[in-house]
Structure 1
Amino acid sequence: MTRLKRLETVQGVLGDRAEASARQLEQARRRVTEAEDRLTQLQQFREDYRRDVAGEGQGLIDAFRLRDFNAFISRLDAAIAQQHRHLMDLRQQADGLQEHWLTERRRADAVEKVVDKQRAAVRRDEASAEQRASDELALRMRRFRTF
């Protein structure tokens, strides 16, 4: 196997790894977006619930209803805090995957440059060999004519 073929094999493997890493990063970013949407929904629901209950209670709110309201708001606050922590974890994972993808992409790009240089060298060598063969043929034809 020639050096160029070996380099092309390595290039293919590194390109595949970079693409797989890009897909993982895309999935992670999608999960971050979904978690952000969920957090926004929870926060909006909390505000809507608070506004609705405040609108209903134009007058006085009895103690049982106030206790239920506060308990539900506490549960919503806990869910919001948990979702926020989950979002932060997902963002951290996405950041790590982005770094991994950048590393894989740089490796693939570096090997691609080496492969391109090797291909150019092979083309130069082939052109030189062709030129030598052409020169040799011309020299033989000249010698043949002199006889």
Structure 2
Amino acid sequence: MTRQTALQTLIGLAQDDVDTATQKLGRVQRERGEIEKQLKSLIDYRDEYHTRFTESARAGMAAGNVRNFQAFIDTLDTAIEQQRRLLDQATQRVEAAKPDWQRSKQKLGSYEVLQSRHDEVQARKDARTEQRDADEHAARALRMRNAH
């Protein structure tokens, strides 16, 4: 296996790692977004419910209805707190996935730099070989012309 082929293999493997890390990061970011959206919906619903209750209470309300309202608000508050904890956990998963993605990108970038340097060295070698061949061809042609 030549050095270039080995390097290309490493680049391919590193690209696979980047793809995997990107997919994982995207998945945990989407999950976090969904959890955040659900939290916002719960908070909005609680606020709307509280506003409706306040408007109804101004007109007068039975004590049982007040207790039912408070119990429902307590249930919503509990659900909101649970959702906030889920959001914190999802945020931690996103933050944990970022360094993995960054490391895989950096590794791929390093291999690509090595490949680029290798390509530059090879291009210079090829250019020197072409120049030498062209010089030899010109010298041969000159010798043949001088010989005639």
Of residues 28-37 and 72-81 in structure 1, the stretch that sits farther from structure 2 once superposed is: 28-37
SS at match of 2:61: coil
1:50-65 alignment, distance < 5 Å: 50-65=50-65
1:42-81 alignment, distance < 5 Å: 42-81=42-81
Unpaired runs of 5+ in structure 1?
A: none
Q: Residue 78 of structure 1 aligns to which amino acid in structure 2? A: T
For residues 64-88 of structure 1, the C-alpha deviation after alignment (integer angstroms, 9 at most, x for no partner) is: 2222111111110110000000001
Aligned to 1:129: 129
Q: Residue 48 of structure 1 aligns to which amino acid in structure 2? A: E
Normalization by structure 1: what TM-score? 0.89
Aligned to 1:30: 30
Equivalent-residue separation in structure 2 for 1:86 and 1:53 (angstroms): 28
Superposition deviation, residue 62 in structure 1:
2.5
Q: Residue 119 of structure 1 aligns to which amino acid in structure 2? A: D
SS at match of 1:78: helix
Superposition deviation, residue 59 in structure 1:
4.1
Q: What value does the CA root-mean-square deviation take over the aligned residues?
A: 1.8
Superposition deviation, residue 139 in structure 1:
4.0
Unpaired runs of 5+ in structure 2?
A: none
Of residues 17-26 and 92-101 in structure 1, the stretch that sits farther from structure 2 once superposed is: 17-26
For residues 75-116 of structure 1, the C-alpha deviation after alignment (integer angstroms, 9 at most, x for no partner) is: 101100000000011111011111111111111111100000
Normalization by structure 2: what TM-score? 0.88
Aligned to 2:87: 87
Of residues 95-104 and 25-34 in structure 1, the stretch that sits farther from structure 2 once superposed is: 25-34
Superposition deviation, residue 141 in structure 1:
4.3
For residues 3-50 of structure 1, the C-alpha deviation after alignment (integer angstroms, 9 at most, x for no partner) is: 111111111211221122112212222222211111111011111111
The count of aligned residue pairs is: 147
Percent of aligned pairs sharing the same letter: 29
